[in-house]
Amino acid sequence: MDKFLKPGEYFEVYSCWLGEETEKRENEFTLKIKDFNVDQIEITEKTYVRVVK
């Protein structure tokens, strides 16, 4: 995704089961695209993640 985003842009991921999109989020965090290893992240159910360039 890094090559598609300009500095300051972001994308969002929300993990939930179909039909649970409007339920309360249990977790929420922001990551900088250059500062994380995707293999070391665990995204649990009902977690909102914003990935920023």
Q: What is the DSSP letter of 24?
A: P
CB of 46 within 8 A of CB of 26?
yes
Question: CA geometry: angle at 39 spanning 32 and 27, to 5°?
Answer: 60
Give me the long-range contacts of 17-21 (CB less than 8 A, separation at least 24).
Answer: 17/45, 20/46
pLDDT tens-place string over residues 26-45:
999 999 998 888 888 889 99
Q: Is 3 helix (H, G, I), strand (E, B) or coil?
A: helix
Mean pLDDT (the chain) is 92
The pLDDT of residue 38 is 80
Residue from 18, 24, 31 nearest 46 by CA = 24
